[in-house]
Chains A and B, each alone.
Chain A
């Protein structure tokens, strides 16, 4: 009986996490539209609520109530599974982020590796979604995005390895403790740059949003999706941005460490700063071409991150 209760509690926690991520997405989308409008000299959404602040809530209600259209020749199982496999790992990866004190779902002793591994499952979802839609644009978008994801996963992982080497632990809580005096961005600036840029590619943000480039692929892998399933893709993108930023803050900016304010506030402040940079970049840089994207990953970031790793190891050896 007691573990039925545990399972029920787990389900409840999952529902809470989903709701929090939904609310987070609403806030992020509104911020993004407002900031974007500011950068482009517009005013952004203004009509729903004071200063348009309820616009995304209205959009979400509309999305949930929309008809769920499925192409006649689509593979039913894969079409339904695609968005789920994209959204669930993005939310799951939040489980190892320490928001300070007891506010962590689980302190795995392989937390950092978990954060690198679990979002990798989204590739399966993207491929399934693109394939099941029975549509050339979706298919090309799915293939492109998985190729991109796999390519940028490697330099990103190698950048994180330097942090792990320095901290001597894969646990996220230990990372926090290791940075109590000096945040790692001071010691590993190059790793931070590699991590930040490749993370943008991992979460499919401009300038790396080739898979859904509307000028060539309509909307990539989610061309055929509408209603709630489309909302799941949307949710996954913003959950991914949040997770990547929170981990950036944790790995390089010292996470919840900081004077006066509690750890949660510090972590959220640092995460918000990183997310703001992401939004800023979106409205500043043009999109890459598909071949440029691949060349950048394999001929620039991979050698750079390897050199960075070797350099970090040598310096650590020399200092120790």
Chain B
């Protein structure tokens, strides 16, 4: 195994353990902290898959933004922090379904054949920028509109109703 492979395996292990812990713990705070570990490990995987820009954006938006938003919501709603959450509901059914879906996906990935990594462009970040503002401009602009709409929606939903 090369250094890259072992790093990939290490980050993968952190991601899987973090995700599992986030899903089964009964403390909401710890679930969010575990999600943070998971998100950081996924950023590491992005970096190893030579997507530097996506990795940094993952840290920027997910850890610096969404995780903080979740902590805010946790603290403002304050439920399940001092008191543990309800235990896992019908774990057997969930496990069977998750196993079926996950097993199918793993089988599909495993038998998908071998992939040969193609040559990366010289200026990868520049190519990504040109793709965002060139061929993919439509979706990019659409995301801007959706973000604006969701900010307005979030504000109007979370606003305290006037008495």
Contact bitstring A13-43, B, C-beta under 8 A = 1, else 0: 0000000000000000000000000000000
A contact residues, total (Cβ < 8 Å): 28
Chain B 1-42 residues near chain A, CB threshold 8 A: 1-3, 6, 29-30, 33, 36
Contacts known (A117-B64, A120-B59, A170-B125); A75 close to B52, Cβ less than 8 A: no
Q: Does B124 make an interface contact (CB < 8 A)?
A: yes
- Checking B56, B65, B67 against A113 with a beta-carbon cut-off of 8 angstroms, the contacting residue is B56
A110/B53 contact (C-beta < 8 A), A123-B68, A124-B68 known: yes
Query: Which residues on A are within 8 Å of B, measured CB to CB?
Result: 2-3, 6, 75, 77-78, 81, 108-110, 113-114, 116-118, 120-121, 123-124, 127-128, 131, 139, 143, 146, 150, 153, 170
With A110-B125, A128-B71, A131-B75 already in contact, the answer to whether A121 and B56 are too (CB < 8 A) is no
User: Which residues of A lie under 8 Å from residue B1 when comparing CB positions?
Assistant: 3
Task: Check if B48 is an interface residue, CB within 8 A of chain A.
Answer: no
- B33 engages A77 (CB within 8 Å): yes
Chain B, Cβ-Cβ closest to A171 = B125
The reply to whether B60 and A120 form a contact with Cβ atoms under 8 Å apart is yes
Distance A116 CA – B72 CA, assembled complex (angstroms): 21
The answer on a CB contact under 8 Å between B60 and A78 is no
- Residue contact B63 to A124, C-beta cutoff 8 Å: yes
B60-91 interface with A by 8 A CB criterion:
60, 63-65, 67-68, 71-72, 75
Complexed CA–CA distance, A77 and B31 (Å): 12
Minimum C-beta distance from B147 to chain A (A): 13
The complex places the Cα of A139 from the Cα of B63 at a distance, in Å, of 20
For the complex, give the distance between the alpha carbons of A5 and B57 in Å: 30
Set of chain B residues within 8 Å of A124, measured between Cβ atoms: 36, 63-64, 67-68, 71
Given the known inter-chain contacts A3-B3, A120-B60, please indicate yes or no for A108 contacting B52, CB distance below 8 A.
yes
**Cβ-defined contact, B56 with A3, below 8 A:** no
Interface residues of B (CB under 8 A from A): 1-3, 6, 29-30, 33, 36, 52-53, 56-57, 59-60, 63-65, 67-68, 71-72, 75, 124-125
**Looking at the complex, which one of A75, A109, A128, A131 makes contact with B125 (CB distance below 8 Å)?**
A109
Asked if residues B33 and A120 are in contact (CB atoms below 8 Å), the reply is no
- What are 13 A-B pairs with beta-carbon distances under 8 A? A75-B29, A77-B30, A77-B33, A110-B52, A113-B57, A118-B59, A120-B59, A121-B63, A124-B71, A128-B33, A131-B75, A143-B75, A150-B65
- Which 3 A-B pairs give the minimum distances between C-beta atoms? A120-B64, A117-B60, A3-B3
Cα distance, A109 to B125, chains bound together (Å): 7
Instruction: Return the contact of A81 from the options B33, B52, B71 (Cβ within 8 A).
Output: B33
Tell me which of B29, B64, B72 contacts A121 (CB under 8 A).
B64
A78 touches B3 (CB 8 A): no
In the bound complex, how far is the Cα of B52 from the Cα of A264, in angstroms? 27
Contacts of B75 in A (CB 8 A): 127, 131, 139, 143
Q: Are B33 and A78 in contact (CB under 8 A)?
A: yes
Q: For the complex, give the distance between the alpha carbons of A75 and B28 in Å.
A: 12
Residue of A nearest to B123 (CB): A109
CA distance A110 to B129 in the complex (A): 12
Report the Cα distance A108→B30, complex, angstroms.
32
Taking CB atoms, residues of chain A closer than 8 Å to B29 are 75, 77-78, 128, 131
Q: Which residue of B lies closest to A4 (CB)?
A: B6
Contacts of A121 in B (CB 8 A): 59, 63-64
Q: Which residues of chain A come closer than 8 Å to B57, judged between CB atoms?
A: 113, 117
- Closest A residue to B78 by CB, please name it: A131
Whether B71 lies near A127 (C-beta < 8 A) is yes
The residue of chain A having its C-beta at the shortest distance from the C-beta of B61 within the complex is A117
Across the interface, name the chain A residue whose C-beta is closest to B7. Answer: A3
